[in-house]
Structures are given as structure tokens and as C-alpha cells.
Amino acid sequence: MLRLRCKARSGSHALPGLSPHSRLRDMQAALAALTGVPAPAQRLLHGFPPRSLDLSDGERRLGELGIHSGDTLIVEEDTSKPEPDSPVVAKKAMSQPVREAVPVLARRVVPADNSCLFTSVFYVVEGGVYDPGCAPEMRNLIAQIVASDPESYSEAVLGKTNREYCDWIRREETWGGAIEVSILSKFYQCEICVVDTQTVRIDRFGEDAGYSKRVLLIYDGIHYDPLERRLPGSDLPPQTIFPSSDDVVLAQALELADEARRKRQFTDVNRFALRCMVCQKGLTGQLEAREHARETGHTNFGEV
């Protein structure tokens, strides 16, 4: 089934019950029920920047129209469609050229609550759905995958026994990293690209798996945020899922990382100074912080 959403004047709605094999007319009927816009008056926008869908053949399948999981459809009501070849329309188009806004890649900040990786991955793979309560579900999903394959996820891979890892990753104070990104890439069948603001490099998880989709995160040494394309000055939903052939978005991500590096918007995890906000103990680097958290259960740290 396709995970779709629609946005209309009445608000944003989930659009369930459709698959790539569903007909366009079926989707239009579902949209009419959700938004109150009858099928003959619908104008549907899709993609980023949004472009009109061809509604001339209601028998076409959604897969043929390029509609994929994570997409959001914009539903507009057009009660007075002029003929596309009308000379009045053509004259107006010629006399008033329209400048299209250029979409930009930007960071979408999520809370620094030990679960930023899980919140960020959920946001991008779900097409821009922010759910601050998704982390326990994501942690449990990873634990189930690891527990189901102890041979692939052995102590040599995880740094701890399979059972210890599953207990560890379920804890709300545990930070996610490369192992968890790799697992989620396989589960969601998409390439997850993590751009590092300190080194200005991109680590591409699932690069060799042949996935058709790509999502991006930005990482500053201790915190992950999702990346999305936005249309400036518009309230249209952002784009978070890209074709794996879209290398332009990778270049844009590197530009963002380079700008952050020049502004020193990164943390050297091996040397940064921390203070435990529970007992006020001074710490140096990520390893000391994690060891302190393991020994004391304290997980609230502030950078000095």
C-alpha cells in the first residue's frame, strides 16, 4: 500500500487504501470524500516543485503517474477552468510572465533529546511527518530486527552481545549512530545519506543496494537533523524523499555542510567539554559522557 497524504483548504489528511495499481478515478473519489472537492473540479498538484497531474484518463494507475509512498498531493478546486488554448489565456501568459520560485534544501531542526536520529529518520522516510513520539517505536523496531538475526548482528558487529544491544537500544537515553542508520536503511528500502558538518563528507547507507529512493540527514558530531527541500514563501509541504539518481541534492547537502563548517556549527566529539547537569561533573568528549551515563544513569549534559 502507498503511504500518501493530501493537503487542501480543509486541512491535511492521510490518504489510505491506495496502491500503485489503484486507478486515478479511485484516488479522485477518495480525495473528494476527504476534502469535499468533487472529482470534476479537482486540480491535483504533485512533486516538488508541485506540478499538475494529468487527470484526462481516470483509468491510469497511480504507479504510471509517478506517485510513490511519502508523496503529498495538493488538492485545489477549479470551478472555472478556461480552455488551455484560449487566446485570452495565451495573451495573459505572454504579457505577465511568471517567475517560478526556486526550491532550496534546508535543515529541519528536531529536539536534542537523545532520540534525534530516530525522529529525523522517521520525518524524512514518512515524507515530512513530524512525530516526536516515534522514537520508542523506532527503537523497538531496531531491537526486533537485531534479535531476529543474531548471526548478522553478532557481538563483533554490535560491540556487545545481541541481547545486551537490544536492551540498550530500547533505552530512551541511548544515542543512535551508524549501526542504527544502516538497519533503518534496509528496513525502509532507501538510501540514507548523512552529511557531516565537521568533515563535509556524505556517508551513504544503502548506496550499493539499488534502492530507488534517497533521504538525507545532517550531523554535527552529536546531533542529527533531517534535510528537506522547501519552496520559499509557500506553505506547500516540503520534499524529503528524492530519487537515488538525484545527485543535485547531494551537492546541495554538501554546500549546507560546508557553510555550517565555516560557521563552526559542529562539535568535535572527542574534545568537546561537557558538564553533567545532574551532578555537575566536568567531562571531555563523547566517550566520557557515555561512560558517565552508564555508571550513574545521568543523561542530561550541557556543552561548556
Grid coordinates of 275: 558538564
The residue with cell 491510469 is 60
Q: Which helix (H) or strand (E) holds 24?
A: helix 24-35
Residue type, 83: E
Q: Of 68, 71, 116, 190, which one is the catalytic site residue?
A: 116
Q: Has 13 been annotated as catalytic? A: no
The residue with cell 479522485 is 28
Q: Has 68 been annotated as catalytic? A: no
Counting beta carbons within 10 angstroms of the beta carbon of residue 185, is it exposed (0 to 12), middle (13 to 18) or buried (19 or more)?
buried
Q: Has 247 been annotated as catalytic? A: no
Nearest Cα to Cα of residue 123 among 196, 216, 249, 19:
216
Q: Of 26, 46, 203, 298, which one is the catalytic site residue?
A: 298
Q: Of 190, 223, 225, 276, which one is the catalytic site residue?
A: 223
Q: b/e map of 90-110 (b: 16 or more CB within 10 Å)?
A: eeeeeeeeeeeeebebbbbeb
Largest CA distance in the chain: 77
Hey, which residues does 204 pair with through a beta bridge? 193
Q: Has 113 been annotated as catalytic? A: yes
Q: Which helix (H) or strand (E) holds 75?
A: strand 72-77
Q: Of 26, 46, 113, 203, which one is the catalytic site residue?
A: 113
Q: Could you list the active site residues?
A: 113, 116, 223, 298
